[in-house]
């Protein structure tokens, strides 16, 4: 009945539109427009079909995408999570969530997003052949929104034979490059969408309130349920893990984000080996103030020799790499309007010759280009004099 009135509404509007057009034409008010309208005796040339060469190219592209889907989709899994809350009568109320993942290796490890499995008490993975298996969490990394699961095979059942998806090169991607996403949007198994790389080097917020850098932006349709699924190049290689969308409605708006494959390659092996990823740490993060030229001029007017930009080190964690290297925090506090700034400490201007004018820049540079145990060269200004200090990075507490 509901569909019926929509049909009648459409027919009614169409009839009104027809009468309106007829009335306008008969009154002579839109004679030029009416003359341009096609009639039964119109001699306008019919719409041309694509040239034979173009049509062959389109069909070749279709076959390529069909082959890519046939090869890659069996390695994409549908993840269902369950957790339990209690109502006012202390009765358990189950909650379900869904997401995507892909097979990493022959041991049944599955890569997905951390937010897909966060808080889950039960996890089940569905394979392309309909097999459903429980899964356990092997390791998680909230700062990069990555997690690794492993399916649990019953003792009396054979292990699934699913080919892992190969990792591609995400360091040499190009804007405009064609990409394909495969996942389970809104629970629709192994849905494929296609698009291009819209931008590179984006920064998005991570699950722990930090930042994920060097993220891939794509216009391939990504919706709730795609999270954790692969973003593929035309060779069927994983160049990213679909993780987030930007959308006022919560559905696809043509702006999706994927964690790049080189981050996945760095993090996932450690999650499998030890259950977590060790993030490099300098020892001053969270204790810095970003200098701006106006603030710097005000400080110089009070006799403090500071550069126009940089991270004003407020404090240094005791025993941290920065502390062991001799970096210095603020010695006293001055008031600038509503600001109270510790001054007399170091101002970090670069790391490894890479400018780090903000705390976010410093953190992303360390995260994406260094590991625990690496030595970095910190360029700083102390009492107006430039210095370089080598610092060996430790694991973030």
Which positions are annotated as active-site residues? Answer: 115, 145, 227
Here the tokens at position 365 are: 């540079």
CA distance 349 to 299: 17
CA distance 193 to 231: 10
CB 232 within 8 A of CB 209: no
CB 111 within 8 A of CB 121: no
Residues 6+ apart with CB under 8 A from 57: none
350: left (phi over 0), alpha (psi -120 to 50) or beta: beta
Nearest by Cα to 257 from 222, 232, 206: 222
CB 74 within 8 A of CB 110: no
Residues 6+ apart with CB under 8 A from 385: 305
CB 333 within 8 A of CB 341: yes
């Amino acid at each position: 009945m509901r569909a019926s009135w929509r049909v009648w509404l459409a027919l009614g509007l169409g009839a009104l539109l027809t009468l309106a057009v007829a009335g306008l034409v008969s009154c002579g008010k839109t004679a030029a427009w009416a003359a341009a309208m096609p009639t039964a005796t119109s001699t306008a040339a019919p719409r041309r079909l694509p040239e034979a060469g173009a049509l062959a190219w389109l069909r070749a592209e279709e076959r390529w995408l069909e082959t890519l889907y046939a090869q890659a989709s069996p390695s994409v899994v549908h993840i269902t999570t369950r957790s339990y809350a209690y109502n006012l009568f202390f009765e358990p109320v189950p909650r379900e969530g869904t997401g995507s993942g892909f097979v990493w290796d022959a041991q049944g490890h599955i890569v997905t997003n951390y937010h897909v499995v966060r808080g889950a008490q039960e996890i089940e993975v569905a394979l392309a052949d309909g097999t459903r298996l429980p899964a356990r969490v092997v390791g998680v990394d909230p700062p990069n929104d990555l997690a690794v699961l492993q399916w649990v095979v019953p003792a009396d059942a054979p292990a699934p034979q699913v080919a892992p998806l190969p990792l591609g090169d995400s360091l040499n991607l190009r804007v405009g490059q064609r990409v394909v996403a495969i996942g389970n949007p809104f629970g629709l198994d192994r849905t494929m969408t296609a698009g291009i790389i819209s931008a590179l080097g984006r920064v998005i917020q991570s699950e722990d309130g930090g930042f994920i850098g060097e993220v891939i932006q794509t216009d391939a349709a990504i919706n709730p349920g795609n999270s954790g699924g692969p973003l593929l190049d035309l060779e069927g290689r994983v160049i990213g893990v679909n993780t987030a969308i930007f959308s006022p409605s919560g559905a696809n708006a043509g702006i999706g984000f994927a964690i790049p494959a080189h981050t996945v390659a760095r993090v996932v092996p450690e999650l499998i080996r030890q259950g977590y990823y060790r993030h490099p740490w300098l020892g001053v993060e969270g204790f810095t103030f970003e200098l701006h030229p106006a603030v710097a001029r005000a400080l110089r007017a009070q006799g403090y020799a500071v550069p126009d930009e940089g991270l004003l080190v407020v404090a240094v964690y005791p025993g941290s790499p920065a502390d062991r290297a001799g970096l210095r925090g603020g010695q006293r506090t001055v008031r600038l309007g509503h600001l109270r700034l510790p001054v007399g400490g170091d101002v970090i201007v670069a790391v490894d010759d890479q400018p780090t004018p903000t705390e976010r820049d410093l953190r992303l540079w360390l995260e994406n280009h260094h590991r625990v145990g690496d030595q970095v060269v910190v360029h700083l200004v102390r009492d107006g004099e430039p210095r370089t200090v080598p610092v060996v990075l430790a694991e973030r507490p």
